[in-house]
Amino acid sequence: MKIRVVGCDGGVAPGSETTCFQVHESLLIDAGSACTGLDIDAQRKVTDVLLTHAHLDHIRDLGFLADNLFGETEGVTIHALPEVNRILRKHFFNYAIWPDFTRIPSPQDPFYRLHDIEPEKQYVFGEVSVLPVRVDHTVPTVGFIVEDSTTAIVISGDTGPTERLWQICKSYKNIKGFLVELAFPHTHQEVANAAKHYTPATLKDELVKFERPDTPVALYHLKPRHKPRIEAEVEAMENPNLRFLKNGEVLTF
Ligand SMILES: [Zn+2]
Ligand SMILES: [Zn+2]
């Protein structure tokens, strides 16, 4: 399986791109940087977007993707929890923040079709199947287990310490990698707890739940201003399985 890291930052500053993974050329997981990280030709090929949750750093470029392509492609299906789709309708595509691309060009045939997904139900996209699992963030959020015929990888979504996702992972024999969020340094543990994100300290406890000490773990969603401190704290963990994702890299499992 190949996954392109279109964006893996937890905030916006020059050179950073917020969360967006390209699973294959037509399927994205989150769309934070779908337009700043993919050229227009690549954007044209997107037909499906799975969302972990509705926070701005994960949905921002849904607005610009529609603006770039409406009327030109067959449109895009957004697959998200019902709560997330409700938020998109009410607070984003509402003609106040942005035009309602769930009704443009026409309500019968809009650019964005919103499809409600159910946690722990499998969804198939070509050769890839995806299982959403609820995680623990401040708003309704899922992580995803993405699987093809040989390999599974896990994307945590934004989360603080959580149980169900790691529990379900135990039934998968073929997990080749974990992509795990890490947003704040331990020096900001209180903020991380309130915002329900990991720090290196809570990550250390979560890694035990994976029960796969040899499977690589790639970290993403670092807040740009905390990057140097987070990197130093992770280095101090002296865990050779941990590394940081980079914007634009292609992961092969
Ligand atoms: Zn979030
Ligand atoms: Zn986020």
* Residue 216, pLDDT above cutoff 90: yes
Instruction: Identify the pLDDT of residue 242.
Output: 97
| Alpha carbon of 252 to ligand 1 centroid (Å) | 26
* Residue 156, pLDDT above cutoff 90: yes
- 168's tokens: 């379900």
Q: Which ligand ends up closest to the CA of 55?
A: 1
| Alpha carbon of 120 to ligand 1 centroid (Å) | 20
Per the rule left: phi > 0, alpha: psi between -120 and 50, beta: everything else, 6 is alpha
* Residue 227, pLDDT above cutoff 90: yes
Could you read off the pLDDT of 11-47 as tens digits, one per residue?
999 999 999 999 999 999 999 999 999 999 999 999 9
Ramachandran angles phi, psi of 110, nearest 5° = -80, 165
* Residue 102, pLDDT above cutoff 90: yes
| Alpha carbon of 138 to ligand 1 centroid (Å) | 7
* Global pTM exceeds 0.95: yes
**pLDDT tier at 233 (50, 70, 90 boundaries)?**
very high
| Alpha carbon of 178 to ligand 2 centroid (Å) | 17
Mean pLDDT over 48-74 rounds to 96
Instruction: Identify the pLDDT of residue 93.
Output: 98
Q: What percent of the chain has pLDDT over 70?
A: 100
Could you count the other beta carbons within 10 Å of the beta carbon of residue 68? 16
Rounded CA separation 3/145 (Å): 13
* Residue 239, pLDDT above cutoff 90: yes
Pinpoint the alpha helices (H) of the chain: 34-37, 40-44, 56-69, 82-87, 164-169, 189-195, 200-210, 227-236
Instruction: Identify the pLDDT of residue 7.
Output: 98
Number of domains in the chain: 1
Mean pLDDT over 100-108 rounds to 95
* Residue 73, pLDDT above cutoff 90: no
* Residue 200, pLDDT above cutoff 90: yes
Q: Which ligand ends up closest to the CA of 57?
A: 2
Pairing of strands 48-50, 105-106: unpaired
* Residue 73, domain CATH: 3.60.15.10
Instruction: Identify the pLDDT of residue 55.
Output: 98
Instruction: Identify the pLDDT of residue 238.
Output: 96
**Mean pLDDT across the chain:** 97
Domain range enclosing 236: 2-252
Q: Which ligand ends up closest to the CA of 32?
A: 2
Rounded CA separation 7/248 (Å): 7
